[in-house]
Structure 1
Amino acid sequence: MFTWYKQSTPVERNTFWGCFAGWGLDALDVQMFTLAIPAIIAAYGIDHTQAGAISSVTLISSALGGWIAGALSDRFGRVRTLQMTILWFAGFTFLCAFAQNFPQLLLLKALQGFGFGGEWAAGAVLMAETIRTEHRGKAMGAVQSAWAVGWGAAVLVYAAAFSWLPADTAWRAMFAVGLLPAGLVLFVRRNLKEPVRVAPVGVSAGPKVSALAQILQVFQPRVLRTTLIGALLGTGAHGGYYAIMTWLPTFLAKERHLSVLNTGGYLAVVIVAFWCGCMLSAYLLDRIGRRRNIALFAFCCIVTVLAYVMLPLTNMQMLVLGFPLGLFAAGIPASLGPLFNELYPADMRGTGVGFCYNFGRIASAGFPVLVGYMSHSMSLGAAIGIDAAVAYGLAMIAVLLLPETRGKRLRGAAQEPSAGASSDSADAARLTLNPPRS
C-alpha cells in the first residue's frame, strides 16, 4: 500500500506532508471546539441551541470559504492560496481564546471557518496536480486520514488542558494552541512548488476575468452537467454522514439506553476506524476506480447504519459495530478529492473542486433537520436509517452518472484545450482518458 511513497519524488513527498499537516491541524482546531462545548456553555451561560449555532455558522462559512479559496487558487496559484488559508484559520482560532462573550466567539468561529474550508480546497488541487497519475488516489486518500490524526491530537490536548487547568482557562488554552499551524506556512513556503500553469500554446491569454466571474465559471455550459452531478454527489456523501453523526448519540441514549458513545473506548474506535477507512479507500481508488469505490462505500454505509438502528445491540456489540460504521463513512470523503479534481480542466479546477465539495456541506445541513421532522411520525431510529439510506443512495446514483476518471492525466494548462474549444465540452462530458495504470 505504501510502495507509492517510496517511488515518489522529493517534490511529491513535500507536497504530501505539507497538505497532510495542514489537514491534520485543521482537524485539531475543529475537534477542539466540539470537546470544549460543555466548558464554553458554562463560561458564557448559553444553551445548547446557541452552542449548536456556533457549529452551524462555522460549517456554512467553511463551505463558502472552500468555494472562494478554490477560485482564488485558480487565480493566484495553489501554494499561495494554501499559505493564506492556513494563516487565516490559525489566526482566528488563536483569537477565539480571547473572546469575551458569545457574539464575539460566534463571529470569530465564522471567520475561522473561511480558512478551514479554504485550506482543503487549495490543498486538494495542489495534491492532484503534483502527484503522478497512477498514485493520485492513494496519496490523496492518505492525506484525508490526517483528519483522524488531528482528531486524536485534539483529544490529547483536551485531556492535558482540562487535567492541569481550571475549566474556564482550559478551553481558552486549547484555542491558543491553534496558532501552531501558522508555523506550517514556513514549511509550505520553502518546500512546496507551484504546479506549472501557463497559457495554451498558440492561444492568447486574453484579459483576466473578474473575481466574480472566476467563482461562477463552474456554471459555464461546457461543465454545467459535471457541476450539477458533482454537487449532488457531495450532498449525498455529506448528508449521510451528518444524518448519522448528529442523531446517533441521541438515538442510542434515548431509545436504546446505551452509554457507549460517552466512553473513551468508543471514541478511540471511531478515530482508528476513520483512519483505516481513509487508507482502505486510498488503496481501492487506484485499484478499482473512483466510481466503484464510492458506490461500494456508500452501499456499505447503508447496510451498516440500518444494522445500527434496527438490530437489538448491546453496548459491546455497538462498540464493535462502531468500527465498520466509522470505516465506511470515512471512505467516501477520501474519494471525493481525486474524483472532483479529475472532472475539471486546469483553468477552473480549483473552483470546481471547491464548489462541488462545499455545496454538499451546505446542502447536507437539511438532512439532520429532516431526521428530526420525520421522528415525529416514526421512531428516531427509523428516521435515521431512512434519511441516511436516501443520502447515500443519492451519492450512489450521482457517482454512476459521472465518468470513470482513474488514470486521467491532469495536464498543465499549456497542454489542455483552450477554454472555448469544442474539445473542452467533450472533455468535461466524456473525459477522454489515458489507459489506467496500476
Structure 2
Amino acid sequence: MFSWFREIDATERKTFWACFGGWALDALDVQLFSLVIPTLLALWHISKADAGMITSVTLIASALGGWVGGAISDRIGRVRALQVMILWFALATFASAFAQDYNQLLVLKALQGLGFGGEWAAGVALMSEAIRPSHRGKALGTVQSAWAVGWGASVLIQTSIYSFVPPEIAWRLLFGLGLIPAILVIFVRRHVPEPEASPARAPKAQQARTPLLGIFSPDVLRVTLVGLLLGTGAHGGYYAVTSWLPTYLKTERHLSTLGTGAYLAVIIVAFFFGCIAAAHLLDRIGRRRTVGLFALSCVIVVLAYVFLPIGDTAMLILGFPLGFCSAGIPASMGALFSELYPGGIRGTGVGFCYNAGRIVSAIFPFLVGHLSEQMSLGAAIGIDAAVAYGLVVVAVLMLPETKAVKLDAVDAPGAPAGAGVRSSAPAQ
C-alpha cells in the first residue's frame, strides 16, 4: 500500500511529512469547534443557527485565505508561505481560548479561517511540485488523510479533557492547545527546500505579475468556474455532516460524550482509509472517475445514515462507509486542481478552487441549523448533504482528465496560460 514511499527521495519525504503534519495540526485546530458546540449552546444560550453561523463565517474566511494564500505562495514561494499560514492559524486558535462572548469568538474564528485556507493552498502547491508525477496522486491523497489524524486527535483530547475538567473551562483548554502547530514551522524552516518547479525560482521576467487575478484570464476561466462548483459541492456536503454530527449524536441519538467519541472514532478511522483508497485510485483510474465514484457513494451513504430507522449498533457500523466515502473527494481535489493550472498561477488556482467554494458552501452548515428548527436535525443534514454532493457529480463531468501530467514552473514564453499543463503527455 505504501511501497511508493520507498521510491521517493529524501527531499520528497521531508516535504511530504511537513505537509502531512501541517494538515493534521490544521484539522486538530479546526475540528475543535464542532466538538464544543454543545457546550457553547448551553453556556452562552445561543441558538443552533448562531453556532452554524460561526462555522459559515470561518469557511468564508478560509476561502479568502486560500485564494490570497495561494497567490502569496506564487509570489514568495511555497515554503515561506506555508510557514506564515501555519503560524497564523495557530495563533488565531490559541486566541479563541480567551473569547468572552459570541461576537469575539466569531471574529477569532474568522481569523483562524484565513490561515486555515492559506495553509492548504500553499501545502498542495508545494507537494504537487515536489513529488514526481507518477506518485503525485498517491502523495497528495495520503497527505489529505492527515485530516483524519488531526480530527481523531481532537476527539481524543476533547473526550479526555471533558472527563476531568468542567465544560466551562474545558472548551478553553481545547482552543489553548491550538498553539501546538507553531512548532512545525521549525521543521519546515530547517528541512524543506523550495521545489525546482516553484514559480518563485523561475526567472523574474517569467513570473506571474498578477497571480491573484490570473485565474480569471479567458484561457483558464472555465476551469476556475467549474472548480468553484466542485469545491462548493465538496465542502458543502462535508461540512453539512461534520459540523453537526457531534450535536446530532448527542441531541437526537442521546449519546454521552464517551459514546459520541466512539461513533466519531469509527468515522474518523474510515476517513483515513478512504483517503488512502482515493490516493491509489487517483493514479490508477484517474482523477475524474475517482471523484465521481466517491460523490455518488456519499449521497447514498449519508441519506442511509440519517434516514434509515436503525439502532445504535447499526449506526456505529454504518459510520465506517460514511467516513470512508466522505474522504474520497477532498483527497482527490489537491491533485486535480494543481494539474489544471500553470506554475505562475498554480497556488492561486488551487487555493481558489478548493477554498472559494467555501464562500458558497458556507450556507450549508447554516441551513442545517436553520432547517433543524422546522424538521429533525438528521433530516436537515441529509437533505443538505445530498444536494451538495450532487453538485460534485455535475462539476466533475465538465473537467478534463489530468492524470500524471508533468508540471512546469511557468508556461513557455508566448504560450497561453495553462496550455502546457492541460496538454502535457503523462509522465512515466
Whether 2:424 is the aligned partner of 1:433: answer yes
**Residues 375 and 181 from structure 1, CA distance in 2 versus in 1: closer, same or farther, beyond 3 angstroms?**
closer
RMSD over equivalenced CA pairs, Å: 2.9
CA distance in 2, matches of 1:264, 1:375: 23
Deviation at 1:338, TM superposition (A): 0.3
Whether 2:78 is the aligned partner of 1:78: answer yes
2:239/2:364 contact within 8 Å kept? yes
- Which whole-Å deviations, capped at 9, do the CAs of 1:9-36 have from their partners, x for residues lacking one? 1111101110111111111111222223
Which of 277, 299, 304 pairs up with 1:302?
Answer: 299
2:274/2:327 contact within 8 Å kept? yes
Deviation at 1:41, TM superposition (A): 4.5
- Partner letter of residue 85 of structure 1? M
Secondary structure of 2:176's aligned partner: helix
1:231 alignment partner in structure 2: 228
Secondary structure of 1:180's aligned partner: helix
2:26 alignment partner in structure 1: 26
1:6-45 equivalences under 5 Å are 6-45=6-45
2:74/2:200 contact within 8 Å kept? no
**Residues 355 and 292 from structure 1, CA distance in 2 versus in 1: closer, same or farther, beyond 3 angstroms?**
same
Secondary structure of 2:179's aligned partner: coil
1:58-97 equivalences under 5 Å are 58-97=58-97
CA distance in 2, matches of 1:155, 1:192: 30
**Residues 345 and 156 from structure 1, CA distance in 2 versus in 1: closer, same or farther, beyond 3 angstroms?**
same
CA distance in 2, matches of 1:80, 1:206: 20
More divergent stretch after superposition (138-147 vs 299-308): 299-308
1:417 alignment partner in structure 2: 412
With structure 1 as the length reference, what TM-score do the two structures score? Answer: 0.88
CA distance in 2, matches of 1:10, 1:105: 41
- Partner letter of residue 421 of structure 1? A
**Residues 195 and 315 from structure 1, CA distance in 2 versus in 1: closer, same or farther, beyond 3 angstroms?**
same
CA distance in 2, matches of 1:49, 1:355: 27
**Residues 151 and 406 from structure 1, CA distance in 2 versus in 1: closer, same or farther, beyond 3 angstroms?**
same
Secondary structure of 2:194's aligned partner: coil
1:398 alignment partner in structure 2: 395
1:289 alignment partner in structure 2: 286
More divergent stretch after superposition (104-113 vs 184-193): 104-113
1:162 alignment partner in structure 2: 162
CA distance in 2, matches of 1:378, 1:227: 36
Deviation at 1:103, TM superposition (A): 2.7
CA distance in 2, matches of 1:131, 1:75: 21
Secondary structure of 1:219's aligned partner: coil
Secondary structure of 1:417's aligned partner: coil
2:207/2:344 contact within 8 Å kept? no
**Residues 199 and 119 from structure 1, CA distance in 2 versus in 1: closer, same or farther, beyond 3 angstroms?**
closer
Secondary structure of 1:306's aligned partner: helix
Whether 2:320 is the aligned partner of 1:323: answer yes
CA distance in 1, matches of 2:361, 2:45: 29
1:177 alignment partner in structure 2: 177
CA distance in 2, matches of 1:263, 1:80: 39
More divergent stretch after superposition (337-346 vs 272-281): 272-281
CA distance in 1, matches of 2:200, 2:319: 50
- Partner letter of residue 228 of structure 2? A
Percent identity (aligned): 60
1:350 alignment partner in structure 2: 347
- Which whole-Å deviations, capped at 9, do the CAs of 1:100-129 have from their partners, x for residues lacking one? 333322222211211111111100110000
- Partner letter of residue 417 of structure 1? A
2:87/2:182 contact within 8 Å kept? yes
1:406/1:436 contact within 8 Å kept? no
- Partner letter of residue 268 of structure 2? I
2:268 alignment partner in structure 1: 271
Q: What stretches of structure 1 move > 6 A for 4+ residues in a row?
A: 247-254, 371-383
Which of 211, 215, 236 pairs up with 2:212?
Answer: 215
2:363 alignment partner in structure 1: 366
- Partner letter of residue 132 of structure 1? R
CA distance in 2, matches of 1:176, 1:252: 25
2:119 alignment partner in structure 1: 119
CA distance in 1, matches of 2:160, 2:253: 28
Deviation at 1:365, TM superposition (A): 2.5
CA distance in 2, matches of 1:263, 1:376: 22
CA distance in 2, matches of 1:154, 1:380: 23
More divergent stretch after superposition (218-227 vs 35-44): 35-44
- Which whole-Å deviations, capped at 9, do the CAs of 1:30-79 have from their partners, x for residues lacking one? 12222233444455454444333322222211111111100110011100
- How many residues are paired up? 425
- Partner letter of residue 412 of structure 2? P
Deviation at 1:158, TM superposition (A): 1.8
1:199-210 equivalences under 5 Å are 205=205, 209=209
With structure 2 as the length reference, what TM-score do the two structures score? Answer: 0.90
- Partner letter of residue 76 of structure 1? I
CA distance in 2, matches of 1:168, 1:252: 21
Deviation at 1:161, TM superposition (A): 2.7
**Who wins on radius of gyration, i.e. which is larger?**
1
1:191 alignment partner in structure 2: 191
Deviation at 1:373, TM superposition (A): 7.7
Deviation at 1:310, TM superposition (A): 4.8
2:34/2:246 contact within 8 Å kept? no
**Residues 177 and 380 from structure 1, CA distance in 2 versus in 1: closer, same or farther, beyond 3 angstroms?**
closer
- Partner letter of residue 89 of structure 2? F
- Which whole-Å deviations, capped at 9, do the CAs of 1:378-415 have from their partners, x for residues lacking one? 987776555434332321221121111111011222xx
**Residues 207 and 20 from structure 1, CA distance in 2 versus in 1: closer, same or farther, beyond 3 angstroms?**
closer
- Partner letter of residue 401 of structure 1? M
Deviation at 1:353, TM superposition (A): 0.5
1:131 alignment partner in structure 2: 131
